[in-house]
Amino acid sequence: MAQTVLSSADTAQWKALTEKLAGVLSVQFVTDGAAVREVHVLSDQSRSPKQIVRDIQSALLAQFQLELDHRVISVAQIPGLPTAVQQRRLICDKLELSTGRAGVDAAVSLRIGDISHRGTAHSDLSSAGRSRAIAQATADAINQFLAAGCRFCLEELRQVPMGSQTAVMVGLRLEQSGKTESLLGACYLGEDPNFSVALATLDGVNRRILTLAFAHEGSVSS
């Protein structure tokens, strides 16, 4: 980075972003001059420590161009939450794309237990437009599970080089009870780049799923 000494404003921004990541409950950055010496993370058990470390690296690199060695990041996990998370984890069952002269139509089918919903979106024929349509269709399906007054909106989608791989980053805005909250989802680009976009979108939602009101609360089951 350009400055020779890191300020409290730097670490405050990093902390704010990191604590929005799936599974992260709190984080502390320990700095020495211009270097980050240690990153201490407290998390639930909805994601593995290795996944959490990769998410932190991806998010800070994408937002602040801050490169962290995985060895400086330590993760302590609180037991007991994963069972509850598993009861309400959105699963992507199907992704459909239809291309024509008018553009691309994306459809994403999501499921929780025996309940499923299908979201749709339309875009132009560009690669960026197709990816955005997939993320929007995923958000549309998510919103069909939720009660009135609670919805997710797509804010940004970006692909970020990470060493020899590429990460898909999806920024979402949660609107609930007159308040808004920004969430970030991430997924490494797999063999199917389109499916990776849907998974990254879900990654930004699943950590908050326990706190959201569902349209048919009594019907949701694992």
Tell me the average pLDDT of the chain: 85
Helices and strands, counts by H and E, the chain = 5, 9
Confidence of residue 88 (pLDDT cuts 50, 70, 90): low
Q: How far apart are CA 119 and CA 38, in angstroms?
A: 42
For the chain, give the percent of residues with pLDDT over 90.
Answer: 50
Domain-terminating residue out of 32, 47, 82? 82
Nearest CA to 172 out of 13, 16, 20 is that of 20
Contact between residue 162 and residue 179 where contact means Cβ atoms under 8 Å apart = no
Instruction: Please state, in angstroms and rounded to a whole number, the distance separating the CA atoms of residues 87 and 210.
Output: 9
User: Would you give the end-to-end CA distance of the chain in angstroms?
Assistant: 46
* pLDDT tens figures, 168-202: 999 999 998 888 988 888 888 888 899 999 999 99
In a domain, 1, yes or no: no
User: What pLDDT is stored for residue 169 in this prediction?
Assistant: 92
pLDDT of amino acid 162: 80
Task: Let me know whether 178 and 109 are in one domain.
Answer: yes
pLDDT score, position 12: 83
Amino acid type, 87: Q
40-49, 111-120, 125-134 — most confident range: 125-134
Domain ranges, residue 215: 88-219
- Report the run of H or E that residue 60 belongs to, with start and end: helix 49-64
Confidence of residue 113 (pLDDT cuts 50, 70, 90): confident
Same domain, residue pair 65 and 107? no
Let me know if residue 3 belongs to a domain: no
Shared domain check, 59 and 96: no
Q: What is the pLDDT of residue 217?
A: 53
- For 177, list phi and psi in degrees, rounded to 5: 55, 40
Are residues 136 and 53 part of one domain?
no
Sign of the alpha-carbon dihedral angle for 186, 192, 195, 199: negative
Residue type, 13: Q
**Residue 222 clears pLDDT 60, i.e. is over it:** no
pTM above 0.75, yes or no: no
Residues 92 and 195 in one domain: yes
